[in-house]
Structure 1
Amino acid sequence: MSPGKFLQVGPPLKLHQDTSEKDLAYSFLHRLIMLDYRARYIPVEQDSLNVTCSKPVLDSDGNDSDESDLESFMSAGVGTNQPSQTHVHPMDVQMAVFHCSDNFLRQIMITKLSQCQYALPLLVPDPFTAEIECPLWAFRQITKTWKVTKGDSQATMKNIPICKAETPLVSFFRLGSLSVSKSQLMNSLINDRHSTFFHRHCPGSTKTRLLLDGVAEITWYCPAGKPGDAFNNCIAFCNLHGDAVMIEKQRDILMEKSSVNVVMVPNLQKDDGSRKIISALWKSKKPLICLLVDDDGAVESRKGKYKMGLKARNQADVSVELKRIIQGLLSSEDPSILKTTFQLETMMENSEIKVDESDNACQNGKSAAVTITNLFQNRDVSSIKDDFLSYQGHLWLKWCKANKELHRLTGNIENDKSKKERELTRIRGQQCDISCSELMRLFTKNLFILPPKDKEYFLKWTQILTDALSADCISSILQSYDNKWSEVMALRNNHDKSKHLEKMETELELLSKKLQSATFGLEHIFREMGQIYEAHKTKHGDNKSGNWCSYPKLAADLLISGHPLELLDGDAGHVPLRWISSVFDEVIRKLGDLKVFVLSVLGLQSSGKSTMMNSMFGLQFAVSAGRCTKGAFMQLVKMTEEVKKDIKFDYLLVVDTEGLRALELESTTLQHDNELATFVVGVGNMTLINIFGENPAEMQDILQIVVQASMRMKKIRLSPSCVFVHQNVTDVAAAEKNMDGRRRLQEKLDQMTQLAAKEEDCSSNCFGDVITFNIETDVKYFAQLWEGSPPMAPPNPGYSESIQELKAHILSKASASNGISLSHLKVHIQDLYTNSDSKFKNKEKINTSYVCFFHVK
């Protein structure tokens, strides 16, 4: 299975109905993508029942019946017909999906398992060849965040790709058969309210399993920097499933890699097969903890070797004692105790392990990406864009400014228009005079010559390596920005208007620009391709000499294969119309003039927009604290044949946008937000207006523009629709309790529509006149994302249910739409952007009657 075949928009899942065994894999993966950790516990509809018959118990009416009934009741057998139900072990489903997926789908699967706070397969025996595989590539997208505390000092935040993290490794092994669950005990150390490791008492567990024995799973405990943390630093925990006496290769690999080895045995017998293993561990300098399941002895220790009896002991007490021992061993300064750390990337060094990254296509892609990142050696990250991506530098920003002025001319329009057009042509000519950088030559060359699979690896490796370049720098700048912002807010709250405040605000602005310069990723390289094409297309027209004329073909291939493409440049606030139009032309040439339904999302910074879209459709828009998406990106998602029976379009075109009111843009945020909101509402057949919490008062300015933008769409006979999504709602009855709030929301929207109608010279009286919106059905309430406090909290199952309900609502509304053809969409984008640029009015110019407040209780 591959992402392209699997990640299509299918019918909504029936979350509360049993699933047929033949649909288990599909249901498991889709629920996992929605961040529903209950994907492991899917109720199974039996395809067949094996019924074992026994003699029935006969009723008797005599006076002696009570005695005989008692004897019958106390008998060993159950005297009724009883179906013997055998279903697939939940972990066999997970491992079967893993074995049947290609490396890219495995990467998505492992990333989602990590987000669900589940353990991840580290060593996996091939069910056919018995080779030991390590899916290192599958871990590449995972980044862990934690806070380190030392004594009474302030916690230090760490944000590291998990493949690069060096942490202690604590490995657990079972020797022989045990009466207690090793996995359950491990869960009590990591998160006693969540089954990180699947164990025998989990729902759906069976005595037989086919694919789990021999699998070593790993997870990381990430402290929050709080007093209640189980450990004060990040620790990796590894669990070898099955009897380690029989599973020699995985056992030896893990024991060599581990910082602490924890062995669980029934007891220590001289003739026991486990004695040799424990003896070797005893002689090693590495710490050893031996847990005796059938022994009730107290804790004993000697030079980093511990022995503890578990019989008749409360698991909570055992967990507390184990945490204390592990923490003590890892922080010990005793020179006789060998201290080691573990890093995932070192798995490549073991010749007994088949690592997925040794695949030729993966190595070819990595080699090509490394050639590019080698260009940046010994360079300041903030200078990379200036040095290698010149087309999107100051000339591009200058061109955008002149272009906006062209569309907002007043006075002697014809004369000024001619001057501006000459200025635009001159700037484009200056761009063309810039030679293409070595970075762009290498990047586009690889896109031209690499086979499809190698190219996919190349793009992923380039993204991974470029993100790693700027990660540390951005983290440092954000820390400085947060500190400076706190100081500025403190001065403002004290109504301080001194020069000191002005100085602090200037420093804040400089940090914002520094952050913008240091942010460098794959999207900037694609933007450069677009700018090179735009500049040369403007200057040379249809003269197709040079590689630049083939760039739209490359971008179209990427868009079709599921890669996001920048629609609106977030730094310049501009849509590269020639570039977008040419890319759409190439998509039409490859797929035909297909119809799409454009779904856009609008909301405040860090309100969960990208997480929502990723969970709903299996997309991979960037997510983390603070603003990640900048501008607007579009991604094509194919509809399944089953869904196509009820709709009139072929693809969903999802448009994700940067957060409104981003702190980094505070000085220009109003104008920027208004333009972005106008474009996003205008381009979408449907817009999701995302609000964090139940009160949309903070969205009042944006909603003004939503109303005006919708009215302009109505003028050109387009009728988009919108759905309000209130995220992080804690009260499950919020929808019922907010009837009055929704009524007042409707009133305010209607008032704004009437005021906007006067500005736009329209006759609309209510919000529903200009945009398709039903206050009863188009306001959705989402449960909070996390079930507890991050970084160890799993996602809230209620959140995934909300995602599923919203997806069903979108498809239901979309079924009434004809969508829009790509040829019409490219014209619409051009008209929309040009018109909104010329007609747009910022807040200062909008009728002051618009300033109204929302209050939803």
Structure 2
Amino acid sequence: MKMEPYENKTLTLQDFLQIDQECLQRMEDWQKESAAWNFIHKVIALNGTARSIVTKSEDENEDLQDHTDDNAVHILDVLCFVLHRCDNFLQQEIILKMSMCQFAVPLLLPDVDGPGCTFMLWGMRDIVKRWRPQSLAETKGFTQAHLVQISMPTFSFVRLGESKLSKSTILNQVLSPAQHTYEFFVHNNMEGADVTREISEGLTEISWYFPAGKGNSDIFSEPAAFANLHGNMEDNLMQFAFLTQISSAVFIFVENIDQPIYDFLSQYKNSKTTFVIIVKANSKIDKSTNLNNVTVLQFKSKTSEAIITKKIRATAVDFIKKECNFLKLEDMAEIASKLGISVDENGIECQNAKADAEAIAEEIKDVAQYKKTTMKLQGNLWKNLAKLEKEMCQMKKQGDKNGEHYKVELQNQRVENRTQQYQCEMPNGISKFIDSIKKRNHTENHYFLKWLRFYLDLSAMNNLSALQTEYKQMTSSHSMTQLSELDQKISDSSLGIEHFLRELGQFYEAEHFMLKEENAKKRKFAQLPTYAADLLLRGFPLELIDGDASNIPLQWLQDVLHELDNKTGKCCRMGVITVLGVQSTGKSTLLNTMFGLQFPVSSGRCTRGAFMTLMKVRENFQGELGCEFILVIDTEGLRAPELTSLENSNEHDNELATLARIRGEFARFAGVKKKKFSKKVAGVKNGRRRQKRAPASEKGAPASKTGAGVKNETPAPFREFFAISRISREIREFFGEAKRRKFAHHYGSSHPYKEYRTIYPNWDILPDPNIEASDYWKYVLKEFNEHFAEEYEARPGEYPKEWNTITKAQAEKCLNTAFGMK
């Protein structure tokens, strides 16, 4: 399990999230020699074959007979090895992705240098589950919560000595529907699991069942957890003792029942847990015992696994009905500590960060009221300022007023708004946030932001749940006033780290506006862009466009990016990827899954805006990509049903989509498979047509791409196309004039054709791939191919040889036909 070049260092999340040449290869073609590398890369990519550890042989022609078990490694050994080499944040990412792959995840991770183990609470803290209990089956509602805070019964499966039954195989069947068995837990018949375990003895895995509200199709009517101890429980007494305290029932697989087994279990006679002994034997066995908490399930040797599975399920259902020993994972951590089991969250840095995050979160009783009192600058003052700045550009309400006088009037109002912002005292919550992000080292800072996001998501879930239920129940009989008020409540009840950073940006901009450079020494918030740049480099998203106010904090972003450039030694060239789509279509989930990003998801918030985050390009790949970073822009809140009745909702959506899209080299659209919403998405994207100054998207964002969306739990892949006729016409007009091109938007000024490189410095036009290119397009490409490549420092484009036969006369005829010229 070689880990070059990280043999002697702790692995971090950033080590695996950099863009390199291997990202362009198909996963099945990418096989490193190390089983550990294969596992990490595949599981982070949500590849279902991650637990298949076949590696590339040094001699590809080596005979299969030459392979020996001496070179084989158990997949659970790989898992334990990897987790011990990772820091807590990479562990958390791996466990989250394992859960998304429907793999059982580590509950107790055995130490490599002793008999102890670690309870992986932090590793599971990012997991969020959604399910539909029977009580919500009729209303089609659902319940969503952080896994670590869900109270449920736990059923543990252990082995004492040897057993003819495969414990893990039976457990997989218990959790799977009748039609198909899923491999939640690793079992002996799996590839990579038929060799001796070396370091994973005592590993305890856990998986969960969550009902879908489908009546008889649900295996269990309520959530339930299932733990699986790998190895003989007599050799792992610490793990077994823990399981006896957290389980509603412990199922013990044995070869035969004798008095020593009863003597062993008598040590736990005061336990509230019931022990269910499972034995497969034809001969009569001694079931007599004075232990009240022991039950025996005996099966004949020829009994099928299906019958055994059915009986175990029925037994578990009975315990669920009795509501025996329902616990949260957070409760289990306390039990683990009392037993001498270490807990991954109990480190000093993690606990210090948690305490500071709690100090902020405990002040949030009502989210809407908290935002009104703590985040005043991004409220009406910021929204009014946005309207003033737009009016200064558009002059829509000038009427009969003198243009210059009207502009001065608007400027005075703008100064007044900024003055009011500047005079606001910084609230305690914002002050605590600044203190927390500036005083910490990298690790503790990361912990703080993760903890704060956890608590804010928790507040959002609690506040939004009732409002969204009320929204769903609202019918057409309700007045638009009521609907609008509820929309506003939902919007006001959204709270995330982005709101804290937005408030910092407004404090910074107000101070910068009032004091300017000549009073730089008096500025208190001059270091804020430095902190924001640090967060960007660590992978946390930063708000690019405030969708509520439909405005961009230009000075704040400019100085943040300036600090980013300084911190990277002026090596900060960026490629841009933009993702557009309606609310709740899985855009953020897709980005987080593909690139390991940290856009907020699954919290039910209805934040509107565009957020950007950075991905680093590995040094050996920067020359080929032409940049050091990839900037990913994610849009939030477009066409959100809960926000549609807010003032200027459609206008804000169009502005957001238009501005976000023109910044991207690559645009991906995602939506839901409903005609009503599809039309609305098309309307948003067609807002692009109103960008008169740019006849084509900067750096050639493709006008047509395939997207996939997810609505709640149900994937809904679909295809949408952006109408490009207007763009194509503007491009042809631009090239059509022989010498010069006039633009009304530039106050009648003319631009020589040869100067297009300075007018549109990043212009790169991609034709619609769904139609046949005209002779005009073919002629333009072949004639100017080398020139374009030289101007934009790119490789010349490839085109069919027959295009060389197209003459200028044919191209002009095509162009004249297109414009109806004579």
Per the normalisation by structure 2, the TM-score is: 0.80
User: What do the CA deviations read for 1:157-181 (whole angstroms, capped 9, x no partner)?
Assistant: 3222122221111111101122221
Q: Find out whether 1:180 has 2:157 as its counterpart.
A: no
Indicate conservation of the 8 Å contact 1:258/1:342, yes or no. Answer: no
CA separation of 1:339 and 1:438: change in aligned 2, threshold 3 A: closer
Q: How does 1:228-267 map to 2 (within 5 A)?
A: 228-267=217-256
Shift of 1:723: 5.1
Task: State the secondary structure of the residue aligned to 1:288.
Answer: strand
Between stretches 6-15 and 679-688, larger displacement belongs to 6-15
Indicate conservation of the 8 Å contact 2:668/2:707, yes or no. Answer: no
Q: 1:586 aligns with which of 563, 570, 581?
A: 563
What corresponds to 1:772 in structure 2? 766
Shift of 1:659: 4.3
- How many Å separate the matches in 2 of 1:41 and 1:97? 15
- How many Å separate the matches in 2 of 1:755 and 1:49? 55
Shift of 1:226: 1.4
Indicate conservation of the 8 Å contact 1:136/1:345, yes or no. Answer: no
Q: Find out whether 1:547 has 2:524 as its counterpart.
A: yes
Q: Find out whether 1:705 has 2:687 as its counterpart.
A: yes
Task: State the secondary structure of the residue aligned to 1:477.
Answer: helix
CA separation of 1:94 and 1:717: change in aligned 2, threshold 3 A: closer
Shift of 1:663: 0.9
What corresponds to 2:17 in structure 1? 7
Q: Find out whether 1:597 has 2:587 as its counterpart.
A: no
Shift of 1:655: 0.5
Structure 1 stretches lacking a partner, 5+ long: 53-79, 489-500, 730-737, 779-813, 820-857
- How many Å separate the matches in 1 of 2:286 and 2:168? 21
Shift of 1:606: 2.1
Shift of 1:771: 4.0
Q: Find out whether 1:556 has 2:567 as its counterpart.
A: no
What corresponds to 2:701 in structure 1? 720
Between stretches 711-720 and 518-527, larger displacement belongs to 711-720
What corresponds to 1:362 in structure 2? 350
Shift of 1:551: 0.5
Shift of 1:644: 2.1
What corresponds to 1:639 in structure 2? 617
Report the residue type matching 2:240 in the other structure: R
- How many Å separate the matches in 2 of 1:694 and 1:204? 44
Q: Find out whether 1:450 has 2:436 as its counterpart.
A: no
Task: State the secondary structure of the residue aligned to 1:547.
Answer: coil
Indicate conservation of the 8 Å contact 1:723/1:773, yes or no. Answer: no
Task: State the secondary structure of the residue aligned to 1:600.
Answer: strand
Q: Find out whether 1:206 has 2:206 as its counterpart.
A: no
Shift of 1:332: 3.0
Shift of 1:573: 1.2
CA separation of 1:625 and 1:617: change in aligned 2, threshold 3 A: same
Between stretches 228-237 and 628-637, larger displacement belongs to 628-637
What corresponds to 2:381 in structure 1? 395
Identical amino acids, percent of aligned pairs: 30
Indicate conservation of the 8 Å contact 1:149/1:155, yes or no. Answer: no
- How many Å separate the matches in 2 of 1:121 and 1:716? 47
User: What do the CA deviations read for 1:315-361 (whole angstroms, capped 9, x no partner)?
Assistant: 1222222111111122138xxxx645343343134231111211111
Report the residue type matching 2:17 in the other structure: L
What corresponds to 2:47 in structure 1? 36
Per the normalisation by structure 1, the TM-score is: 0.77
What corresponds to 1:70 in structure 2? none
Shift of 1:428: 0.5
User: What do the CA deviations read for 1:11-32 (whole angstroms, capped 9, x no partner)?
Assistant: 224322372332x333322222
- How many Å separate the matches in 1 of 2:682 and 2:363? 47
Q: 1:670 aligns with which of 628, 638, 650?
A: 650
Indicate conservation of the 8 Å contact 1:529/1:551, yes or no. Answer: yes
Report the residue type matching 2:202 in the other structure: G
Indicate conservation of the 8 Å contact 1:114/1:120, yes or no. Answer: yes
- How many Å separate the matches in 1 of 2:744 and 2:54? 58
- How many Å separate the matches in 2 of 1:440 and 1:252? 45
What corresponds to 1:144 in structure 2? 129
Task: State the secondary structure of the residue aligned to 2:50.
Answer: helix
Task: State the secondary structure of the residue aligned to 2:109.
Answer: strand
Shift of 1:628: 5.0
User: What do the CA deviations read for 1:696-751 (whole angstroms, capped 9, x no partner)?
Assistant: 66643234223444x6334797543355123269xxxxxxxx9xx99xx69x5336
Aligned residues: 715
Indicate conservation of the 8 Å contact 1:597/1:652, yes or no. Answer: yes
- How many Å separate the matches in 2 of 1:246 and 1:426? 74
Q: Find out whether 1:287 has 2:299 as its counterpart.
A: no
User: What do the CA deviations read for 1:773-824 (whole angstroms, capped 9, x no partner)?
Assistant: 452699xxxxxxxxxxxxxxxxxxxxxxxxxxxxxxxxxxx9x9879xxxxx
- How many Å separate the matches in 1 of 2:117 and 2:158? 17
Shift of 1:453: 1.9
Shift of 1:648: 1.1
Indicate conservation of the 8 Å contact 1:690/1:724, yes or no. Answer: no
What corresponds to 2:487 in structure 1? 512
- How many Å separate the matches in 2 of 1:623 and 1:81? 49
Q: How does 1:842-853 map to 2 (within 5 A)?
A: none
CA separation of 1:358 and 1:817: change in aligned 2, threshold 3 A: farther
Report the residue type matching 1:21 in the other structure: E
What corresponds to 2:507 in structure 1? 532
Indicate conservation of the 8 Å contact 1:260/1:288, yes or no. Answer: yes
Task: State the secondary structure of the residue aligned to 1:721.
Answer: coil
Q: 1:468 aligns with which of 458, 465, 476?
A: 458
Indicate conservation of the 8 Å contact 2:360/2:433, yes or no. Answer: yes
CA separation of 1:175 and 1:425: change in aligned 2, threshold 3 A: same
Indicate conservation of the 8 Å contact 1:691/1:725, yes or no. Answer: no
CA separation of 1:539 and 1:447: change in aligned 2, threshold 3 A: same
Q: Find out whether 1:269 has 2:258 as its counterpart.
A: yes
CA separation of 1:716 and 1:371: change in aligned 2, threshold 3 A: closer
Q: Find out whether 1:684 has 2:664 as its counterpart.
A: yes
Between stretches 506-515 and 647-656, larger displacement belongs to 506-515
Shift of 1:442: 1.5
Indicate conservation of the 8 Å contact 1:598/1:684, yes or no. Answer: yes
Report the residue type matching 1:408 in the other structure: Q
Task: State the secondary structure of the residue aligned to 1:43.
Answer: coil
Task: State the secondary structure of the residue aligned to 1:307.
Answer: strand
Q: 1:168 aligns with which of 139, 143, 153?
A: 153
RMSD: 3.5
CA separation of 1:183 and 1:556: change in aligned 2, threshold 3 A: same
CA separation of 1:721 and 1:330: change in aligned 2, threshold 3 A: closer
Q: 2:31 aligns with which of 12, 16, 19?
A: 19
Shift of 1:512: 1.1
User: What do the CA deviations read for 1:637-678 (whole angstroms, capped 9, x no partner)?
Assistant: 101123224221110000111142111221333212211121
Shift of 1:94: 1.9
Indicate conservation of the 8 Å contact 1:400/1:574, yes or no. Answer: yes
- How many Å separate the matches in 2 of 1:712 and 1:300? 86
Indicate conservation of the 8 Å contact 1:474/1:518, yes or no. Answer: yes
User: What do the CA deviations read for 1:753-772 (whole angstroms, capped 9, x no partner)?
Assistant: 448989988999xxxx9842
- How many Å separate the matches in 2 of 1:427 and 1:397? 10
What corresponds to 2:68 in structure 1? 84
Indicate conservation of the 8 Å contact 2:487/2:644, yes or no. Answer: no
What corresponds to 1:307 in structure 2? 296
- How many Å separate the matches in 2 of 1:548 and 1:200? 60
Higher relative contact order (CA 8 A, sep 6+): 1
Indicate conservation of the 8 Å contact 1:267/1:295, yes or no. Answer: no
Q: Find out whether 1:225 has 2:213 as its counterpart.
A: yes
What corresponds to 1:521 in structure 2? 496
User: What do the CA deviations read for 1:358-380 (whole angstroms, capped 9, x no partner)?
Assistant: 1111111112222222333xx32
Report the residue type matching 2:687 in the other structure: I
Report the residue type matching 2:547 in the other structure: G
Shift of 1:147: 2.4
Shift of 1:431: 0.9
Report the residue type matching 1:726 in the other structure: G
